[in-house]
């Protein structure tokens, strides 16, 4: 919440940006109470970089958005005194080492725009992949391909927010493990993948 005590006017852009921030974003304090919001985006996804820039500009239209190039990625960046008001999850340390909870007004916006939240999380810490397997059918080996979505984040709270939102839109998911760490959420059932393809789609 910021300025006159109201959330941003472009609710959908804000919810998408919230998903990006929870995945690959950070806030850092500068001089005179000005904060930098930075979202890391891989060079491989120019469409994601544009979507991030557009969302950031829509949320704070009076503030300039710039792209700072790093090795293999860019930092989409904007400076404002109001970013901590808009992202009260900001705090010391890494996100997965501290509690992450949505403010009531943020939850209302996510409930109104669940797919934008899911899209932001997938675009930051998720992927769409195609797996394949070979089966013997009628004496012949045939290759079958199937698509799934993965979301990976070390924060229990952020994973819970993602899964709760998937539940609300009717997407079935399951937790998968790498070793002992349950950091991965998989969407693999055909109907759920089709719904994700319709409303989220692959990064580009």
- For residue 25, being part of any structural domain is answered with yes
Q: How many CB atoms lie within 10 A of CB 152?
A: 16
Answer left, alpha or beta for residue 136, where phi above 0 means left and psi between -120 and 50 means alpha: beta
Measured CA to CA, the distance from residue 118 to residue 54 in angstroms comes to 17
Q: 110 in a domain, yes or no?
A: no
What mean pLDDT, rounded, does the chain reach?
Answer: 91
| Count of C-beta atoms within a 10 Å radius of residue 196 | 25
- Residue 144 confidence class, pLDDT cut points 50, 70, 90: confident
43 located within any domain: yes
Helices (H) and strands (E) in the chain, counts: 7, 8
Q: Residue 186: which domain range?
A: 125-199
Q: Provide mean pLDDT across the span 17-41.
A: 94
Q: Is 106 among the domain residues?
A: no
Q: Is the pLDDT of residue 4 over 50?
A: no
Number of domains in the chain: 2
Question: What is the structure's pLDDT at 2?
Answer: 58
> Would strands 174-178 and 65-70 be described as parallel, antiparallel, or unpaired?
unpaired
Tell me: do 134 and 91 sit in the same domain: no
Q: What percent of the chain has pLDDT over 90?
A: 75
CA separation for the pair 70, 44 (Å, rounded): 13
- Tell me: the pLDDT tens digits for 104-140? 999 999 999 999 999 999 999 999 998 877 777 777 8
Residue 51 resides in a domain: yes
pLDDT above 80: residue 103: yes
Residue 57: inside a domain: yes
Same domain, 91 and 130: no
- Whether 186 maps to a domain, the answer reads yes
Residues 157 and 193 in one domain: yes
Distance CA 88, CA 101 (A): 9
- Tell me: do 59 and 136 sit in the same domain: no
Give me the CATH number covering residue 66.
3.10.28.10
If asked whether residues 86 and 134 sit together in one domain, one would say: no
Q: What is the mean pLDDT of residues 50-61?
A: 96
Q: Is residue 108 part of a domain?
A: no
54/61 Cα distance (integer angstroms): 10
For the cut 90, the answer to whether the pLDDT of residue 142 exceeds it is no
Q: What is the pLDDT of residue 10?
A: 96
Residues 84, 151: one domain? no
Judgement on whether residues 132 and 86 belong to the same structural domain of the protein = no
């Amino acid at each position: 919440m910021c300025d006159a005590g109201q959330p941003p006017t472009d609710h959908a852009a804000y919810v998408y940006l919230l998903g990006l921030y929870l995945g690959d974003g950070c806030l850092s304090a500068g001089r005179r109470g000005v904060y930098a919001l930075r979202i890391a985006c891989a060079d491989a996804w120019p469409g994601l970089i544009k979507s991030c820039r557009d969302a950031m500009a829509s949320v704070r239209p009076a503030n300039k958005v710039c792209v700072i190039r790093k090795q293999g990625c860019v930092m989409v960046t904007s400076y404002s005194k109001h970013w901590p008001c808009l992202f009260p999850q900001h705090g010391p340390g890494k996100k997965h080492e501290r509690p992450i909870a949505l403010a009531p007004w943020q939850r209302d916006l996510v409930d109104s725009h669940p797919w934008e939240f899911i899209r932001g999380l997938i675009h930051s810490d998720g992927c769409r992949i195609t797996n394949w397997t070979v089966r013997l059918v009628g004496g012949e080996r045939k290759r079958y391909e199937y698509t799934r979505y993965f979301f990976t984040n070390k924060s229990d709270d952020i994973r819970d927010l993602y899964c709760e939102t998937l539940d609300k839109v009717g997407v079935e998911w399951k937790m998968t493990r790498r070793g002992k760490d349950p950091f991965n959420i998989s969407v693999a059932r055909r109907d759920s993948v089709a719904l994700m393809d319709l409303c989220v789609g692959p990064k580009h």
